[in-house]
Amino acid sequence: MSLRPYAEYKDSGVAWLGEVPAHWEVKPLKYLVSFSGGGTPSRENLDYWDGNIPWVSPKDMKQERVTDAEEHITEFAIKESSTSLQKVGQVLIVVRSGILKHTIPVAINDVPVSLNQDMKALDFKEKPWLSDFFLRWVQGNNDKLLNAWLKEGATVESVEHQYLAETRFPTPPRSEAIQIIKFLDNEATKIDALIAEQEKLIALLAEKRQAVISHAVTKGLNPDAPMDAI
């Protein structure tokens, strides 16, 4: 796939990021978003649990869009515990988990959710359209951001908030960002479909392999079949 270059570029000010289109803004993330974290309501208080509010933890971050979670809490828990209710359209990011050894899980919530303490929500208040662009930006720079964000010496892999907040994030104009998002969504859909087809083929080949082995070790082989010498 060949993408046309822009007419002019500029230094982003970040060594690993390099140059970006000259008309894009590059600002520390802390000037573009507000951050909020989560918490775990007391397990001993049954009034906090089994409500209708999804309580998102790293294990729920398997898709790009979050619509539910394995566990749920009540409005009572929102009022009385350290977690809070996140409005629709936030960028959810895992900041503490073993998965950060190789991947930064990131998603956008399509329903109001709460978070556990291993998560953060990023709210692009003035430019909500940047949420989808930021999600793709993190996916595209996963390995570089792991090196830039991870807290050194931590017993469990974790994103250092200061590193995250100080990240210089390149932002195109709104119309251009939306165009890029649409292009990437379309490409991602096509690639995901190809991956699904390959996974189906691999599953069929695995079944065939098992069937061949099973037949050979239980029914034997045609004694007249030609054999290579061992």
| pTM of the entire predicted model | 0.85
* The predicted structure's pLDDT at residue 135: 97
- pLDDT tens digits, 125-182: 999 999 999 999 999 999 999 999 998 877 789 999 999 999 999 999 999 999 999 9
The CB density around residue 177, as the number of other CB atoms within 10 Å, is 19
**Chain centre to alpha carbon of residue 185:** 14
Please determine, for residue 2, whether its predicted confidence score (pLDDT) is greater than 60. no
Domain ranges of the chain: 9-172, 173-220
Distance, CA of 219 to CA of 217 (rounded, Å): 6
Phi and psi at residue 6, in whole multiples of 5°? Answer: -80, 165
Return the residue matching tokens 């079949």. Answer: 225
- As beta bridge partners, residue 159 has 150
Could you give the residue ranges of the DSSP H alpha helices within the chain? Answer: 75-80, 130-140, 142-149, 161-166, 174-219
- pLDDT tens digits, 65-88: 999 999 999 999 999 999 999 999
CATH topology of domain 9-172: Adenine-n6-DNA-methyltransferase TaqI; Chain A, domain 2 (3.90.220)
Say which residue, 21 or 222, is predicted with more confidence: 21
Query: For residue 160, what are its two tokens?
Result: 């250092």
- pLDDT tens digits, 188-218: 899 989 999 999 999 999 999 999 888 888 8
Query: For residue 35, what are its two tokens?
Result: 């951050």
Distance, CA of 207 to CA of 224 (rounded, Å): 26
Burial class of 146 by CB neighbour count within 10 A (0 to 12, 13 to 18, 19+): middle
